[in-house]
Amino acid sequence: MTNQRTMASILAIPPNLTFLVLRQLAASRPVAVGVPISSIRLFTSTTATEARQRLTARPALRSTPTLSEKPRERQSEKPGTRQSEKPKEKQLFEKPKARQPEKPKAKQQPEKPKEPQSEKPKPKKKKPSGPVEKAPSSFSFLPPPSNDPNQLAIPAPAPTPNSLFAATHIFTCQKPYFMYAAPRFLNFPVNTHVPEVCILGRSNVGKSTLINALSGAAGAAAGRAHGLEARRAGRAITSAHAGSTKTMNAYGFGPPPKVAPPKKEAEPEEQGETRIKSRSERREEKTKFSKERKPTNQLILVDMPGYGFNSQSEWGKEIIKYLEKRKMLKGAVVLIDSVAGVKKDDRAVLGMLRDAGVRTTIILTKADKIDSMEEYHQGAGKEREKGSIGDMCVKVWEELRKIEEESLTWVEGKGWERELWVTGAGDPRNAGLGIAGARLAIAKMAGLVRDERALADEEAPELGSVVTKPAPTASKIIPFDQIVWATPHQGTTNPKGGREKASF
């Protein structure tokens, strides 16, 4: 019986203390217990397993916390303040349930100021500090008459909307297409149908930026075209570092022209000729009929590597070959920095164009670097400031006239265009400054668009200034024979017999 009672009392003892209790019992009742040790061990082991089962069963009854609940517990519990760690007394005195609702109040308070914050994103957009005036889409100057004592540049009359629209359509009706990059002239694919215009200028003058602006990239976007993304969009890669364009890169604009496939000419043997063809003739013939691809675009612009700083002499040699040999080359656009003006390298390239007999148009770039839009217009006024765009135009004409002295054909109005076009292709403030005009200048040179203004820039005036009359209709062009030339200090006589004053 005593053994049974002992065992019963042991049952109520926690399992971790059974061994100690048994030792105490053995010490207090050394003889009377009389329980074999093996049975005690067995008993203790069974109670331990039962107790373990109970302990393990308790957590199983609890619902396992979800992922969303876990962070809540962590947020509410500060380190060292877990409820399980707190003494029971504290848990009793504390009234967490009553205080807990105060926390959401603290959360609600910051929510109120958030609403007005979300309503005020606009103050971040600061208005540009620069002028708000709208940039002219076409901006060009004509040279003053030789007898003008002031020798001021004359703002050219605005092109007709028809011709501006036609030129803009070519460049923007579809995405530009990056056709190829040719490191050497030999790498150029054969082209017998699509007119080409090349863009020349010193390194960093803004050639690639202008090409992007022509295709519709606005302002800063035109001057920040980098990497594969720009390539995929058909854009020219630009950089603030000189010498970024290292190959002759061709870009296609406008839809493909409708051209009939080239027909093979009759063989000389068939015509009874026995002449043996030279190697270059055979190669040309072979490429002409077998390798020329179907035209993809209406117009090709070739972005040339810049000359001057960071350039390579090899590029110059290849460019000269291109200018001399490319059959579909309709003209060259030479870009000149509005601030820097004509440099030694520019003179050398203009001389190259003169020698190769390539028709040339000058476009002034970075005109936005002149402080305000007012100064553009002051270029033509009598109270103009020094260093205005008008002064720059006068200097450019002087240079061109010096260069043309060595040629009989490459002359004002024939070899080079008298009208100077002013642009700010990469201007972040006045996006698109003069870009529509530049499109017209290029499309006109390529023979794709007619300039409908009553200008006679084919020939330089010998005496006085050119009289231009507003065209009665947008499409009518006054023939060269009908243009009336003004004599110095006199009015002009129009064909109808009346007298009219020289315009400008």
Ligand X SMILES: Nc1nc2c(ncn2[C@@H]2O[C@H](COP(=O)(O)OP(=O)(O)OP(=O)(O)O)[C@@H](O)[C@H]2O)c(=O)[nH]1
How buried is residue 350: exposed, middle or buried, by Cβ count under 10 Å (0-12/13-18/19+)? buried
Per-residue x/- marks for ligand X, 69-108, CB under 6 A?
Answer: ----------------------------------------
Candidates 3, 44, 239, 503; binder of ligand X (CB under 6 A) is 239
Q: Give the nearest distance from C-beta 254 to ligand X in angstroms.
A: 22
Q: Do 66 and 34 meet the contact criterion of CB atoms below 8 Å apart?
A: no
Q: Give the nearest distance from C-beta 347 to ligand X in angstroms.
A: 18
Q: Determine the size of the site formed for Mg ion (CB under 5 A).
A: 3
Binding status of residue 159 toward ligand X by CB under 6 A? no
Q: Which of residues 355-374 bind Mg ion (CB under 5 A)?
A: none
Binding status of residue 176 toward ligand X by CB under 6 A? no
Candidates 1, 240, 276, 408; binder of ligand X (CB under 6 A) is 240
Going through 228-280 in order, the beta strands assigned E by DSSP cover 248-253
DSSP string, 411-479: -BTTTB-SPEEE-BTT-SSSTTBTHHHHHHHHHHHTTSS---S----SS--SSS-B-----SSTT----
Q: Give the nearest distance from C-beta 135 to ligand X in angstroms.
A: 11
Binding status of residue 209 toward ligand X by CB under 6 A? yes
Binding status of residue 18 toward ligand X by CB under 6 A? no
CA distance 393 to 444: 21
Q: Give the nearest distance from C-beta 432 to ligand X in angstroms.
A: 10
Cα-Cα-Cα-Cα torsion 10, 15, 21, 25, nearest 10 degrees, comes to 40
CB-wise, 197 or 425, nearer to ligand X?
Answer: 425
CA distance 487 to 147: 9
Candidates 137, 163, 191, 245; binder of ligand X (CB under 6 A) is 245
Candidates 160, 163, 168, 208; binder of ligand X (CB under 6 A) is 208
Q: Which of residues 191-230 bind Mg ion (CB under 5 A)?
A: 207-208
Per-residue x/- marks for ligand X, 183-202, CB under 6 A?
Answer: ------------------x-
Q: Determine the size of the site formed for ligand X (CB under 6 A).
A: 26
Q: Which does 240 bind (CB under 5 to 8 A by kind): ligand X, Mg ion, none?
A: ligand X
Secondary structure string (H, E, C) spanning 44-63: HHHHHHHHHHHHHHHHHHCC
Binding status of residue 205 toward ligand X by CB under 6 A? yes
Q: Which does 426 bind (CB under 5 to 8 A by kind): ligand X, Mg ion, none?
A: ligand X
CB-wise, 390 or 426, nearer to ligand X?
Answer: 426
From first CA to last CA, the distance across the chain in angstroms is: 135
- The one-letter code for the residue type at 365 is T
CB-wise, 7 or 218, nearer to ligand X?
Answer: 218
CA distances from 235 to 179, 187, 213, 315 (A): 11, 21, 9, 21
CB-wise, 152 or 301, nearer to Mg ion?
Answer: 301
Q: Give the nearest distance from C-beta 205 to ligand X in angstroms.
A: 4
CA distance 74 to 53: 29
Question: Cα-flanking dihedrals φ and ψ of residue 141, to 5°?
Answer: -130, 150
3-state secondary structure (DSSP) of residue 364: strand
Q: Which does 368 bind (CB under 5 to 8 A by kind): ligand X, Mg ion, none?
A: ligand X
Angle between helices 2-11 and 15-28 (to 10 degrees): 150
Cα angle: 97, vertex 99, 103; to 5 degrees: 110
Q: Give the nearest distance from C-beta 307 to Mg ion in angstroms.
A: 12
CA distance 420 to 397: 9
CA distances from 384 to 135, 210, 340, 375 (A): 19, 27, 18, 8
Q: Which does 455 bind (CB under 5 to 8 A by kind): Mg ion, ligand X, none?
A: none
Q: Give the nearest distance from C-beta 208 to Mg ion in angstroms.
A: 3
Sole window of 74-82, 232-240, 274-282, 392-400 interacting with ligand X (rule: CB under 6 A) = 232-240
Q: Is the dihedral of CA 226, 221, 244, 188 positive or negative?
A: positive
CB-wise, 205 or 449, nearer to Mg ion?
Answer: 205
User: How many CB atoms are located within 10 Å of the residue 179 CB?
Assistant: 20
Q: Do 223 and 329 meet the contact criterion of CB atoms below 8 Å apart?
A: no
CB-wise, 204 or 468, nearer to ligand X?
Answer: 204
Candidates 204, 215, 430, 465; binder of ligand X (CB under 6 A) is 204
Q: Give the nearest distance from C-beta 205 to Mg ion in angstroms.
A: 9
Q: Which of residues 416-475 bind ligand X (CB under 6 A)?
A: 424-427
Per-residue x/- marks for ligand X, 356-375, CB under 6 A?
Answer: ---------xx-xx------
Per-residue x/- marks for Mg ion, 240-269, CB under 5 A?
Answer: -----x------------------------
CA distance 178 to 195: 16
Q: Which does 338 bind (CB under 5 to 8 A by kind): Mg ion, ligand X, none?
A: none
Candidates 203, 297, 430, 465; binder of ligand X (CB under 6 A) is 203
SS3 content of the chain, % helix, strand, coil (to 5): 40, 10, 50
Q: Which residues bind Mg ion (CB under 5 A)?
A: 207-208, 245
Q: Which residues bind ligand X (CB under 6 A)?
A: 201, 203-209, 223, 238-240, 242-245, 305-306, 365-366, 368-369, 424-427
